Structures are given as structure tokens and as C-alpha cells.
């Protein structure tokens, strides 16, 4: 009799003990975020790998061997989920910023710019109807002050939003560098472990969690997720490769770039949305508001200059600008509303004031502002819808990933019971061979 049976039984005990330990690892991490279910791969040991004491195969086989612990991960969904995470990151920030800008515009509202413009034009129409009423002259000057103040407040608020977003960009850059450094470090460790045949399932899970954060932050493209040769790039620039990470910084213009000055174009994710807002969207809102303000000031001043005030002097500017570009109402008019040139200077003439009031239909003033308000409202609605749709799609894909790589407690418990029975049977087999050998030793040669 050979010792083959003992070898076979002991291999079975070792293999199923390892399989049971893997099942225990799965159960222990059933609620661990990002954990991928692990499976012990069993392989049958061929008869050529199993020999008798005489060195000749008996043809039966050598039992079972736990060759490696595999990580159950739906890698075929990675590219799709990466893309959706980038879209969710972009849509989240876009929705938040669109709502913030809508709050700055503050329409419709009794204190908004449109209400101020309406009161301004109405005040000049009232003066045109009753040019000899000094109270209405004072009200017209006051309405002009309200308009200039409301414009200035809008610019101040937009500057504040732009500053907030730029702070967010700086925070994102710090987060980006931290993530790439951690990912590069894990890649080196994973590569070293896999090079000597050691499993790195937990390390791969940790790195995947970091990659998920990075793709949502920047819309990064990732390849080589399953090994240490991971490559991460953003906007065509490689940030992580061969276990090394490049450092990103902000240049004097506030744009992300490499240390050699190469600009990093992040067109997706949270960072991409913030860069788009701070570099394009908010400046566009400011420039359009500025165009409306300047057109109003220019046309009102031109019309006012053609009139004559109560002192007989030609009308000076109603709106003036300081060296910093801030608009206000002329101090002359604020001190004396009789200097308001509403007509040709004769009693009862308010033709100039009437013409100023008709500027409300000028396409580049009130209608242009209403168009801007409508676009902001549309952007808020679109951003919220896009966020809902992308989030729903991402949730669906994550559910699919979880169904393949997540831990099902009922399934693991059933597997554990089966492994327990197999282990017990293997132990019984070993005990049987032990008894047979004992019989052989005790009774042979007596």
C-alpha cells in the first residue's frame, strides 16, 4: 500500500480549509464598500503529479489543490462606469453652480434687476407725464441710483461666486495630487505582489475605490486596472504610469498644469465643471450684464445730453463711471434733481424723459436681460435633469457590478456549509487511511 491516499486526503484538507478561509473573508467584508468577492480556484492534481513510493504513477490522481484566490470583479463594466462617474461629477457641480448663479440673478423678484429697470423706466414716464412735479424728478433720480446699485451688486455677487469656484479648483488640485500619489503607491505594491505570485485582491479593491474618486473628479481615462502596470491619463496627459505620479499645480492664470508648464485640460468630472464655470460661464454672464449696463448708460446719457434742465443748462450724464469701471448716478443730480434735463427747458415739456422711458423696448437692454435670465433658468433645469439621468444610469451599472462582484450573504453561507461537509469528509478519508496503515503496520510480519 502507498502513502498516496494520505497525500490525497491531506491536500483536500488544505485546499478546502483555504477555500473556507476565503468564504470567511467574504462574509467578514459583506458591508465593506468597494470590496470584491473572492473565490478560491481549485484544480485537480493529475496522476502525473502524483507518484507512489516506487516513483510510479498509480493513475488515480493526486486529489485537489487550491491554486490561487481570484477576485470576482466585473472589469467589463469599468469603462462605462468610469464615464458615468465623470458625467455625474460634472453634472453635480454644474447643477450646483447653475443654481448658485440663478440665486445671484434673483429673478423673478421685487428686488431684482428687472424690477429695478421697470421702476426706472416707469419713473421717467411719470416725469414725462408730469414734468413740473419735483417729487417725480427726485423719484426718477432715485430709481437711477437703484439700477446702478443693483448692477453693481450683481457684479459683486458673480465675483464672489467666481472666487468660490476658483477655491474649489484649488481644492480639487490638492485632492487630485493626493489620489494619484496613493494610486501610484498601490500600483507599485500590487506589481510587486503579483510578480511573486501573491494575490493582491484587497489592494486592487483599495485602488479601485481611489480610481472611482479620481474619475468622478477629473474624468480620467484608466487602463490596466487588473495589475501593477496601471496607466491613468487626463486630457491626453499621463498622470500615473509605472507606479509613478506627476504633480499638478495651478499656473498664474489659475489653470492646472504640470511642473514643466504643460496645461492640463480637464474637460470632465467635478474639476472640469469648475474650470468651465470659472473660465467661461461666469465671465460670460458678467460680460453680458456689463454690455446691458453699458448700453443703458450710453443711450440714457446720450438722450439726456439733448435736453435742458431747469437752470437752462444742457443735460449732463445721468450715469457716470469711476476709474474701476463702477457705475453710479451723477453726484450733481443726486444733490439737485432740478438738474435733470427731461425736455427742452420750457415748462411742461417732458419729451426727453418720455424718450428715455421708451428705451425699455430697446433689444439690447431689458429684452437682452430677460434672455439672459431665461437662459440661466433653462441651464438650472437642464443641469438637474442631466444629474438625475446620469445618476440613475450609474446606479444601474453599479448594481450590475455589485451583482457580480459583491458579496451575497446567503450564497456565502451555503458555500460555507458545503465546504464544511467536504472538509469533514476529507478528514474522515484521512482517518480511514490512517486506520488502514495502522492495521498494516500492526499486523504485518507478526
Residue-wise pLDDT tens digits, 87-112? 999 999 999 999 999 999 988 888 88
> What is the Cα–Cα distance from 316 to 411, expressed in whole angstroms?
86
Q: What is the pLDDT of residue 47?
A: 66
Residue-wise pLDDT tens digits, 204-248: 999 999 999 999 999 999 998 888 889 999 989 999 998 999 999
pLDDT of residue 54: 43
* pLDDT on residue 1: 47
**Residue range 123-155, pLDDT digits in tens:** 999 999 999 999 999 999 999 999 999 999 999
pTM of the model: 0.84
Predicted local distance difference test score (pLDDT) of residue 111? 85
Pseudo-torsion of CA 146, 149, 154, 158, nearest 10°? -170
Long-range contact pairs involving 72-76 (C-beta distance under 8 Å, separation at least 24) = 72/36, 72/37, 72/38, 72/39, 72/404, 72/405, 73/36, 73/204, 73/208, 73/226, 73/404, 73/405, 74/400, 74/401, 74/404, 74/405, 75/225, 75/226
**Percent of residues, the chain, with pLDDT higher than 70:** 96
Q: Is it the case that residue 48 has pLDDT exceeding 90?
A: no
How far is residue 323's CA from residue 272's CA, in Å, rounded to a whole number? Answer: 35
- Give the span between the Cα atoms of 331 and 323, in whole angstroms: 16
Residue % of the chain over a pLDDT of 90: 60
Q: Is the peptide bond before 108 cis (omega within 30 degrees of 0)?
A: yes
Domain boundaries, the chain: 4-72+406-443, 81-391
- What is the torsional sign of CA 216, 218, 219, 223? negative
219 backbone φψ class: left, alpha, beta (φ>0; ψ -120 to 50): left
The per-residue pLDDT of the chain, averaged, comes to 90
Confidence of residue 432 (pLDDT cuts 50, 70, 90): confident
**Closest of 120, 108, 107, 109 to residue 149, by C-alpha:** 120
Task: Give the torsion through C-alpha atoms of 435, 437, 440, 443, to 10 deg.
Answer: -50
Q: What distance in Å separates the CA atoms of residue 146 and residue 249, rounded to the nearest whole number?
A: 43
pLDDT tens digits, one per residue of 288-314: 999 999 999 999 999 999 999 988 899
Residues 6+ apart with CB under 8 A from 146: 116, 119, 120
What was the pLDDT predicted at 2?
56
Residue 46 in this model has a pLDDT that exceeds 90:
no
> 445: pLDDT confidence band, cut at 50, 70 and 90?
low
What's the confidence (pLDDT) of residue 437? 78
What are the Cα distances from residue 164, in Å, to 168, 205, 264, 349? Answer: 6, 34, 21, 50
- Rounded to the nearest 5°, which phi and psi values hold at 248? -105, 140
Span between the terminal Cα atoms of the chain, in Å: 18
398, pLDDT greater than 90: no
Confidence of residue 59 (pLDDT cuts 50, 70, 90): low
Structure confidence by residue, pLDDT tens digits, 407-424: 888 888 998 999 888 888
pLDDT digits (tens, 9 = 90+) for 157-168: 999 999 999 999
CA 305 – CA 313 distance, rounded (Å): 10
Amino acid at each position: 500500500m502507498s502513502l498516496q491516499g494520505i497525500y490525497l486526503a491531506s491536500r483536500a484538507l488544505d485546499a478546502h480549509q483555504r477555500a473556507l478561509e476565503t468564504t470567511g473573508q467574504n462574509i467578514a467584508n459583506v458591508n465593506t464598500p468597494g470590496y470584491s468577492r473572492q473565490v478560491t480556484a481549485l484544480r485537480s492534481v493529475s496522476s502525473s503529479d502524483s507518484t507512489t513510493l516506487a516513483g510510479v504513477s498509480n493513475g488515480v490522481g493526486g486529489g485537489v489543490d487550491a491554486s490561487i484566490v481570484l477576485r470576482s470583479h466585473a472589469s467589463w463594466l469599468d469603462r462605462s462606469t468610469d464615464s458615468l462617474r465623470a458625467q455625474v461629477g460634472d453634472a453635480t457641480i454644474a447643477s450646483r453652480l447653475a443654481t448658485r448663479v440663478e440665486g445671484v440673478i434673483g429673478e423673478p423678484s421685487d428686488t431684482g434687476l428687472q424690477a429695478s429697470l421697470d421702476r426706472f423706466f416707469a419713473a421717467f414716464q411719470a416725469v414725462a407725464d408730469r414734468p413740473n412735479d419735483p417729487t417725480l424728478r427726485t423719484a426718477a433720480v432715485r430709481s437711477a441710483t437703484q439700477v446702478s446699485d443693483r448692477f453693481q451688486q450683481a457684479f459683486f455677487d458673480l465675483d464672489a461666486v467666481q472666487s468660490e469656484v476658483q477655491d474649489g479648483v484649488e481644492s480639487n488640485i490638492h485632492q487630485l495630487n493626493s489620489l494619484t500619489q496613493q494610486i501610484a503607491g498601490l500600483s507599485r505594491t500590487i506589481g510587486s505582489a503579483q510578480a511573486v505570485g501573491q494575490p493582491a485582491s484587497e489592494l486592487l479593491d483599495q485602488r479601485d475605490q481611489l480610481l472611482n474618486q479620481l474619475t468622478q473628479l477629473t474624468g480620467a481615462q484608466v487602463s490596466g486596472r487588473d495589475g501593477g502596470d496601471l496607466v491613468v491619463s487626463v486630457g491626453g496627459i499621463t498622470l500615473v504610469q509605472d507606479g509613478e505620479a506627476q504633480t499638478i499645480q495651478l499656473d498664474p492664470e489659475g489653470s492646472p498644469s504640470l511642473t514643466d508648464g504643460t496645461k492640463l485640460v480637464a474637460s470632465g468630472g467635478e474639476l472640469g465643471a469648475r474650470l468651465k464655470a470659472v473660465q467661461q460661464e461666469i465671465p460670460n454672464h458678467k460680460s453680458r450684464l456689463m454690455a446691458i449696463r453699458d448700453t443703458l448708460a450710453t443711450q440714457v446719457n446720450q438722450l439726456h445730453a439733448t435736453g435742458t434742465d431747469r437752470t437752462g443748462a444742457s443735460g449732463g450724464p445721468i450715469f457716470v463711471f469711476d476709474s474701476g469701471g463702477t457705475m453710479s448716478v451723477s453726484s450733481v443730480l443726486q444733490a439737485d434733481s432740478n438738474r435733470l434735463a427731461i425736455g427742452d427747458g420750457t415748462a411742461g415739456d417732458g419729451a426727453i424723459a418720455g424718450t428715455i422711458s421708451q428705451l425699455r423696448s430697446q433689444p439690447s437692454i431689458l429684452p437682452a436681460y430677460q434672455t439672459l435670465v431665461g437662459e440661466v433658468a433653462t441651464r438650472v433645469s437642464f443641469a438637474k435633469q442631466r444629474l438625475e439621468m446620469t445618476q440613475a444610469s450609474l446606479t444601474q451599472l453599479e448594481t450590475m457590478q455589485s451583482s457580480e462582484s459583491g458579496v451575497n450573504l446567503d450564497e456565502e453561507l451555503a458555500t460555507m456549509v458545503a465546504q464544511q461537509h467536504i472538509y469533514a469528509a476529507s478528514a474522515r478519508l484521512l482517518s480511514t487511511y490512517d486506520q488502514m496503515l495502522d492495521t498494516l503496520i500492526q499486523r504485518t510480519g507478526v
